[in-house]
Amino acid sequence: MQAEQSRTEWLEWHLAQVPFQVLHMRELAEHTVRAQDTSAVVVDGSGEKARLPFNASAADDADLLYATLVLFAQEVQERTGNPAPRPVRARQWRGRDEVQGLPSCRPDEAFALSTEIVHYLIASAHQIAHDGDLNDAPEQLVDVIRKMRARYPRAEPTFRAYRPRPCPVPGCGEATIEPVYDAEGLAGYRCDQCETTWNRDGAPVDQIEIREKRGP
């Protein structure tokens, strides 16, 4: 029993890192673009500025991590029969045969897309962790997560333990209100049943504001 619980927690912990890692990597890519815009040099004999080459490593690796997450979620949907959220089906950059990475989006949107998929996977974490027919797919996903965390280290946000609370929306009442985190910590709350959202102060909002990582 202890081993089973440990494997489930192992999977949940690594899944929870993905949205923050994707956000961090996409921010690194955007910051590189901004730095190149301000560091451009003048070409001899002309008044035009030449752009420095764009190092797309962080963006490419964010695409790899997101694609690995989506492909894993697709496999989980096939095995469990649990309907996957829309990002698994539509919000992605696709090649000829399968998903290649994130769609065109801002870092905070990449965070939100990843979070939706991670919530779906964590809800089935125990089943995933002990489904032998998934073979080594969980290990392959965790391996990619670990590689990206090592390649692009980031400051860890502060979390508090939180137990799902009853939803106050009439007609819902399910104990499915959970916190939503961004790069700075708690961003708000969301009911996974009726999808009502609240800000950090508990006021209802149409959409939770996801803050990007603050600069130095």
From first to last of the 216 residues of the chain, give the pLDDT tens digit: 334 448 888 888 899 899 989 988 888 877 654 444 444 444 444 444 444 333 468 888 888 999 899 999 999 988 888 888 888 877 666 666 777 778 878 888 888 889 999 999 998 888 888 777 788 888 999 999 999 999 888 755 544 545 566 778 888 877 677 777 776 677 888 887 888 888 877 778 888 887 765 544
116-175 pLDDT per residue, tens:
999 999 988 888 887 777 888 889 999 999 999 998 887 555 445 455 667 788 888 776
Scan for tokens 């004999």, then name that residue.
45
pTM for this one? Answer: 0.62
The pair of three-digit structure tokens given for residue 53, joined into one six-digit string: 């080459």
**Residues 6+ positions from 110 with CB-CB distance below 8 Å:** 22, 23, 26, 62, 66, 102
Work out whether the CA dihedral 93, 96, 97, 100 comes out positive or negative: negative
**Domain boundaries of the chain, sorted by first residue:** 2-42+51-154, 160-207+212-216
